[in-house]
Amino acid sequence: MTTANVVNQNVLSQRYATPEINAIFSEEGKILAERELWIAVMKVQRELGMSIPEEEIAKFERAKSNIDLARIAEIEGVTRHDIKAKIQAFVEAAAAGEFLHQGMTSRDLTDNVEQMQIRKAGEMILGRYIAVAKGLAEKAREYTSIELTARTHNQPAELTLLGRRFAMWAEELYENILGFQSFLQQYPLRGIKGPVGTQASMLTVLGTDEKVQQLEQRVADHLGFQRTLQATGQIYPRSLDASLVSHLVQLGSACSNFALGMRLMSGYELVTEGFKERQVGSSAMPHKMNTRTSERITGFMKLLRMYQEGAAQLSGDQWFEGDVSDSVVRRVIIPDVFYAVDGMSEATLTVLTEMGVYQKVISREVDRYLPFLATTQILAAAIDAGIGREEAHATIKRYAVAEALRMRDGQEQKLAYHLGQDQLFSSHDITEESIHHILQERAALLGNAHKQIEQVAAKIDVLCQRFPEAAAYQPRQIR
């Protein structure tokens, strides 16, 4: 094999990202966005009195999808300037006059187009995660009657519901969806500012400041942006990129917590993320049914954190009106963070679609730990009976630890019996029978778990009603 023309593919783009996200950040997608921006500027410039014939703009519109990458590369090989090559190739494709890019500099094109890509990809990702929130809420309702051993520090703690655990993840995602939605709504466009941000070039070609401001606003409106920056330099502040990536990390957090939960619960044989008939878990151990998709989600989260650190490195590192020291980093981070968060949503939706629960195993675990899960209620009963809180706590702890060690030694636990026999408890009418009565009152042990599930699911219902197309999204077959 010769190495002269070897090109390695971006594994995130090739293996994990959906076609829609790939299209936005493809070379063709970027060039199409650039041409849309040029056309928008020419239209507004004509409206503001510049001599650009309407039929010439029409030629550019008809040719905007006629993208010849080989021709662009050929021109760039001569000019050694990518924007100049794209301008010449577009003029040739349109067979039109050289009316585009008047009063503009390269950064008027590149920064605004990158922001157009970010906005478009962001809105698509927002929709994907609304679908994920819907899936989590549906599982919360589906599992609302399955009692579960809740764990803190990965130790049995109290009784909960499997649906309540899903509601916990769903609500985290819901809150982060709201935050990302607000970010996209307020996301400002750099605008047409010229080489150092003063708009001097555009002022020269348009003639008045009023026309310059009108062009700025009309172009932003045409591109769907509600706000523009007023005094940015050559580049928009890279702290905006850091904020973007931070929001994407937040979106991924609930999915990451869900995936970790699935991996841990699978290890306890409480759930399965699904295992296809011909799927292989291990090349060495035929019995393995690994949580490979949940592990993939965990991997995506590690990438998102890495990109967050990279984006943070670019914040506050701009020399005066701008430089290109951030160029290499951003060319990696901006598309790849979207590929990663897109792949994460696909993987999460896949697990939610294919997963199952082992209810008998879940019930056996609850039965095994139930007296321990009820110790807070037993403590409350002891206090109500007149025993001091700390004294009651110490007594319960002494017997609970002893019984836990007995269980681990293979013996039957008898926590209720030993507490009922304790002189302090029995003298206050806390008996084995009354403790068993507490264990049978499952509603008290569950607190507001049922209500909380419905509260979370209901507000996600409202979100899905606002975005029905996004909520209806189904994941593709993943590899």
Cα torsion angle, 166, 304, 243, 135, sign? negative
User: Which tens digits make up the pLDDT trace of 332-362?
Assistant: 999 999 999 999 999 999 999 999 999 999 9
Encode pLDDT of 292-303 as tens digits: 999 999 999 999
- Answer whether residue 397 shows pLDDT above 70: yes
Q: What's the average model confidence in pLDDT over 402-413?
A: 89
pLDDT of residue 280: 41
Give the model's pLDDT for residue 2. Answer: 56
Give the pLDDT of residue 35. 97
* Burial of 7 (C-beta count, 10 Å sphere; 0-12/13-18/19+): exposed
Residues of the chain with CATH 1.10.40.30: 374-446
Mean pLDDT of 156-173: 97
- Extract the tokens encoding 132: 């994920």
Query: Does 243 score more than 80 pLDDT?
Result: yes
Kindly indicate the confidence band of residue 281, based on its pLDDT and cuts at 50, 70 and 90: very low
Mean pLDDT along residues 54-58: 97
CB 93 within 8 A of CB 59: no
Mean pLDDT over the full length of the chain? 93
Task: Identify the helix (H) or strand (E) that includes residue 272.
Answer: strand 271-272
Q: Residue 287 has what pLDDT?
A: 45
By CB atoms closer than 10 A (0-12, 13-18, 19+), residue 448 is: exposed
Residues carrying CATH 1.20.200.10, the chain: 110-146+157-194+230-279+288-359
| Confidence label for 278 from pLDDT (cuts 50, 70 and 90) | very low
pLDDT tens for each residue of 141-150: 999 999 999 9
Mean pLDDT on 187-202: 94
Rounded to 5 degrees, what angle do the CA atoms 5, 11, 350 make? 150
Note the pTM of the prediction, 2 decimals.
0.92
> At the top level of CATH, which class does the domain 374-446 belong to?
mainly alpha
Q: Is the pLDDT of residue 288 over 90?
A: no
Question: If you ran DSSP here, which 8-state letter would residue 148 be given?
Answer: E
pLDDT grade, residue 428 (50/70/90)? very high
pLDDT digits (tens, 9 = 90+) for 244-267: 999 999 999 999 999 999 999 999
- Whole-number percent of the chain with pLDDT over 70: 95
Q: How would residue 391 be classed by pLDDT, with cut points 50, 70 and 90?
A: very high
Could you identify the residue written with the tokens 């990965």?
A: 154
- Indicate the pLDDT class of residue 4, thresholds 50, 70 and 90: low
Q: Which residue's entry shows tokens 């969806």?
A: 177
CATH class of segment(s) 110-146+157-194+230-279+288-359: mainly alpha
* pLDDT score of 277 more than 50: no
Q: Would you say residue 285 has pLDDT above 70?
A: no
**Residue 7 in this model has a pLDDT that exceeds 70:** no
Residue 458 has pLDDT above 50, yes or no: yes
283: pLDDT strictly greater than 90: no
Using an 8 Å Cβ cutoff, are 312 and 342 in contact? no
Q: In the prediction, which pLDDT does 275 show?
A: 56
Residue 220 has pLDDT above 90, yes or no: yes
